[in-house]
């Protein structure tokens, strides 16, 4: 028994000696991972926000201890606005393309990158364009013109802004169909001017920044739609269509009377009419009717002639209705330019007030029956 006790004691001393030696300065640490293990890590934020415009974006990643396998990537099933996902252009980068978000709300989809059984999920949110602000400038609207102001959601955004009569607007089943109608018109106009579609858009159609616009030569007392939507020079539609309703003013009759006198020039076969209106604010026309008739018949005949002129103005490149009648009409006491003497023994000189925006007669006819001196 004595030997056994000595042996146990010696073993215990030996253990104490090993555990307490000053020469052993090793530290006991937790187990560390094997550094040779492959790791697939995100570099880009896993929540990515992109703007509303079409464009290409990048997702970045890194691989610790790569094996030589390929990275794959795909968007969530049913996502049609994320396309052209490219994993091979550059190491550590995946490129993807988004189409324009022309809606009013943001949209979100996931893109999943996979490598050696490891997956990284990135959530992509595309913001919408904010809506246009369209306000009708009612104080500036006339019998033949509507005026509206457009504030785009982005000062850099290019856009279309036009007006159309409400009956035409209502005849389309969807906004997409109406925009297609616009595009067809733009293409036709580009062809007429021997311009490419893109050149025509840049030169005649697209606007940028806040602006006030007008549409002229409209019908009086009628409803119109003024609208705007984003479009780029390539013809891509960038936003929804936004609109407001406007209305032209009714034609207001004027109770005006003209005192007329006529001077004939037999040598040149011309005459001039002098008129003194009892209202110096109105615009009016002076002319000669071949023969005699009632004021109502003369007004009806003269309006038909004016309507023909209005119809031909765009064809002849004569400017707007307003421009034409402002140039041709008189105001206050005035004398007409020389007028050819009618080939009749009697003729009727007359004056009538005119709405310069529409070319519509707005007063009774003042007239003077004359005998020809020729």
Whether residue 31 lies inside any domain: the answer is no
Whether residue 22 lies inside any domain: the answer is no
CB 127 within 8 A of CB 50: yes
Q: Are residues 142 and 167 in the same domain?
A: yes
Residue 55: how many other CB atoms lie within 10 Å: 13
Name the packing angle between helices 321-328 and 295-316 (round to 10°): 120
Query: pLDDT band for position 319 (50/70/90)?
Result: confident
Q: pLDDT for 195-234, tens place per residue? A: 999 999 999 999 999 999 999 999 999 999 999 999 999 9
CATH code for the domain in which residue 96 is found: 2.60.40.10
User: What residues contact 322, with CB distance under 8 A and at least 6 apart?
Assistant: 144, 145, 216, 217, 356, 357
Q: pLDDT for 97-126, tens place per residue? A: 999 888 888 999 999 999 999 999 999 999
Q: Give Cα 21 distance to the centre of its chain.
A: 86
Query: pLDDT band for position 129 (50/70/90)?
Result: confident
The pLDDT, as a whole number, for residue 36 is: 61
- The Cα–Cα gap between 338 and 273 comes to 8
The β-bridge relationship of strands 223-231 and 47-50 is: unpaired
Whether residue 203 lies inside any domain: the answer is yes
Q: Are residues 263 and 332 in the same domain?
A: yes
- From 194, 215, 247, the end of a domain falls on 247
Q: Are residues 109 and 171 in the same domain?
A: no
The β-bridge relationship of strands 146-151 and 39-42 is: unpaired
Q: Are residues 145 and 221 in the same domain?
A: yes
Whether residue 143 lies inside any domain: the answer is yes
Selection from 155, 48, 59, 154 nearest residue 107 by Cα: 48
Q: pLDDT for 69-88, tens place per residue? A: 999 999 999 999 999 999 99
Number of domains in the chain: 3
Whether residue 28 lies inside any domain: the answer is no
The pLDDT, as a whole number, for residue 11 is: 41
pLDDT top residue among 36 and 252: 252
Whether residue 122 lies inside any domain: the answer is yes
Helix (H) or strand (E) holding 354, with range, is strand 346-355
The pLDDT, as a whole number, for residue 114 is: 97
Selection from 182, 166, 329, 345 nearest residue 256 by Cα: 329
First to last CA, the chain: 169
Whether residue 83 lies inside any domain: the answer is yes
- From 201, 217, 247, the end of a domain falls on 247
Q: Are residues 207 and 144 in the same domain?
A: yes
Q: Are residues 223 and 323 in the same domain?
A: no
- Bridge partner residues of 83 (DSSP): 97
Q: Are residues 284 and 240 in the same domain?
A: no
Average pLDDT, the chain: 90
Q: Are residues 64 and 158 in the same domain?
A: no
The β-bridge relationship of strands 118-126 and 47-50 is: parallel
- Domain span at 69: 39-126
- The Cα–Cα gap between 316 and 331 comes to 26
Q: Are residues 280 and 315 in the same domain?
A: yes
Selection from 212, 215, 214 nearest residue 152 by Cα: 212
**307: helix, strand or coil:** helix
- The Cα–Cα gap between 286 and 333 comes to 12
Whether residue 360 lies inside any domain: the answer is yes
Q: Are residues 146 and 70 in the same domain?
A: no
**171: helix, strand or coil:** coil
Helix (H) or strand (E) holding 15, with range, is helix 2-20
Q: Are residues 215 and 266 in the same domain?
A: no
- From 91, 111, 126, the end of a domain falls on 126
Query: Which residue is listed with tokens 């550059």?
Result: 90
Q: Residue 173, by phi and psi: left (phi above 0), alpha (psi -120 to 50) or beta?
A: alpha
User: What residues contact 342, with CB distance under 8 A and at least 6 apart?
Assistant: 288, 289, 290, 291, 372
Q: Are residues 359 and 284 in the same domain?
A: yes
**177: helix, strand or coil:** helix
- The Cα–Cα gap between 267 and 183 comes to 58
CB 75 within 8 A of CB 82: yes
The pLDDT, as a whole number, for residue 17 is: 43
């Amino acid at each position: 028994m004595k030997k056994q006790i000595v042996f146990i004691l010696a073993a215990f001393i030996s253990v104490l000696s090993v555990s307490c030696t000053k020469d052993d300065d090793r530290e006991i640490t937790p187990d560390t991972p094997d550094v040779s293990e492959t790791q697939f890590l995100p570099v880009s934020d896993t929540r990515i926000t992109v703007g509303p415009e079409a464009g290409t974006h990048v997702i970045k990643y890194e691989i610790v201890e790569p094996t030589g396998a390929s990275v794959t990537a795909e968007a969530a099933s049913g996502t049609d606005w994320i396309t052209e996902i490219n994993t091979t252009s550059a190491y550590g980068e995946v490129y993807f393309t988004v189409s324009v978000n022309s809606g009013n709300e943001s949209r979100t989809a996931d893109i999943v990158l996979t490598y050696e059984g490891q997956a990284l999920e990135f959530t992509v949110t595309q913001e919408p364009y904010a809506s246009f602000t369209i306000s009708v400038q009612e104080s500036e609207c006339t019998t033949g013109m509507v005026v509206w102001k457009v504030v785009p959601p982005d000062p850099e955004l290019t856009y279309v802004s036009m007006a159309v009569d409400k009956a035409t607007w209502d005849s389309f089943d969807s906004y997409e169909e109406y925009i297609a109608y616009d595009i067809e018109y733009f293409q036709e106009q580009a062809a007429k001017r021997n311009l490419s579609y893109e050149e025509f858009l840049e030169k005649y159609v697209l606007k940028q920044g806040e602006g006030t616009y007008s549409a002229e030569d409209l019908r009086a007392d009628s409803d119109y739609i003024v609208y705007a939507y984003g479009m780029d020079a390539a013809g891509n539609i960038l936003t929804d269509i936004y609109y407001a309703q406007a209305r032209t003013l009714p034609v207001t009759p004027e109770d005006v009377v003209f005192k007329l006198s006529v001077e004939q020039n037999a040598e040149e076969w011309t005459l001039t009419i002098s008129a003194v209106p009892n209202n110096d604010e109105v615009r009016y026309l002076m002319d000669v009717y071949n023969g005699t008739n009632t004021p109502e018949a003369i007004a009806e005949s003269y309006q038909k002639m004016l309507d023909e002129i209005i119809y031909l103005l765009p064809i002849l490149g004569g400017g707007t209705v307003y421009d034409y009648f402002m140039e041709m009409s008189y105001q206050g006491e005035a004398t007409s330019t020389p007028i050819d003497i009618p080939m009749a023994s009697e003729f009727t000189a007359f004056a009538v007030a005119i709405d310069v925006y529409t070319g519509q007669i707005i007063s009774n006819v003042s007239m003077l029956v004359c005998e020809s001196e020729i």
